[in-house]
Structure 1
Amino acid sequence: MSSVSLGLLGFFIGMPLIIILVWLIYMVHVYTEKAEALLSNSGFVKANFKAFDQAGLLGKAMRNGFITLVLINPDLLAKRGLVNLSEVKEFPRRIKRILVVSWGLCFLFTSALMVLGFYIEYVDKSAGV
Structure 2
Amino acid sequence: MFILAPLFLIEIWLIYMVHAYTEKAEALLPKSSFVEANRTAFWHAGLVGKAMRNGILTMVLMMPGPCAKRGIVDYTEARNFPAGFRRMLFVSWGMSWLFGIALMIFGVYLKYFE
TM bracket (short chain): over 0.9
Query: Which sections of structure 2, spanning at least 5 residues, go unmatched?
Result: none
1:1-129 alignment runs, 5 A limit: 11-124=1-114
Query: Could you say which structure has the larger radius of gyration?
Result: 1
Query: What secondary structure does 1:81 align onto?
Result: coil
Query: Which sections of structure 1, spanning at least 5 residues, go unmatched?
Result: 1-10, 125-129
Question: 1:51 & 1:21 partners in 2: Cα distance?
Answer: 23
Contact 2:64 2:79 in 1 (8 A): no
Question: 2:19 & 2:84 partners in 1: Cα distance?
Answer: 17
The two structures have a TM-score, normalised by structure 1, of 0.86
Contact 2:67 2:73 in 1 (8 A): yes
RMSD (Å), alpha carbons:
0.7
Question: 1:71 & 1:80 partners in 2: Cα distance?
Answer: 14
Question: 1:47 & 1:121 partners in 2: Cα distance?
Answer: 42
The two structures have a TM-score, normalised by structure 2, of 0.97
The share of aligned pairs that are identical, in percent, is 56
Runs of 4 or more, structure 1, over 6 Å off, are none
How far 1:75 sits from its partner (Å)? Answer: 1.2
> CA offsets, 1:81-111, max 9 Å, x none?
1110000011011110110000000000000
Question: 2:42 & 2:71 partners in 1: Cα distance?
Answer: 21
How far 1:23 sits from its partner (Å)? Answer: 0.3
Question: 2:56 & 2:72 partners in 1: Cα distance?
Answer: 12
How far 1:123 sits from its partner (Å)? Answer: 2.2
Contact 2:29 2:77 in 1 (8 A): yes
